[in-house]
Amino acid sequence: MTHILAFGASSSKRSMNKTLATYTANNIPNVKVTVIDLNDYEMPIYSIDREEKEGIPELAIQFKKLIKNSDGIIISFAEHNGVYTTAFKNIFDWISRIEKVVWCDKPMLLMATSPGGRGGKSVLEVAHQRFSRENSNEIPTFSLPSFNQNFNPEIGITKPELAKDFDTAVTSFIDQL
């Protein structure tokens, strides 16, 4: 069975990005879904000095194992000052030290949402540009602006033109699995 790893790239306990990633993964037919919370992978802030002295934390190794054991990855990014959250960036830094190809060339779906009108577009562009450099797959993206107005946990994306864009991105991801 196809195994999807999904998470919101946020440490918020009420993360709308985790909600969107979870909703997306759970609505893909015939897959096993593992949803993780970044709070379960909190580690010391990465530094080369710490790595040389203490090695790579076990939590980073566990996170990397989840990536390797998946067939596809769904990430929905929270945006802090136009880029990744510190929680995500720290995990990303640690797992990048384990293996050069961080996401193991897995099919990915990158998303972002926010309460504002841009829907995390800046962080989504940064992530897409960075992750596309080491992934042979086409990486679809989806940005959901104004999360509280455009998302319902029971029916998903409520605005028809956004729902169409969402379906296109999800279909592209599924086709690569």
| Residue numbers of the domain that contains 133 | 2-176
pTM above 0.95, yes or no: yes
Q: What is residue 32's predicted lDDT score, i.e. its pLDDT?
A: 98
CA 45, 93, 166: angle at the middle one, nearest 5?
120
Q: What is residue 165's predicted lDDT score, i.e. its pLDDT?
A: 98
Encode pLDDT of 69-102 as tens digits: 999 999 999 999 999 999 999 999 999 999 989 9
Angle between helices 58-68 and 86-96 (to 10 degrees): 80
Q: What is residue 28's predicted lDDT score, i.e. its pLDDT?
A: 98
**Encoded tokens for 116:** 């504002």
Structurally, the chain folds into a number of domains equal to 1
Parts of the chain with a pLDDT under 70: none
Domain CATH code at residue 39: 3.40.50.360
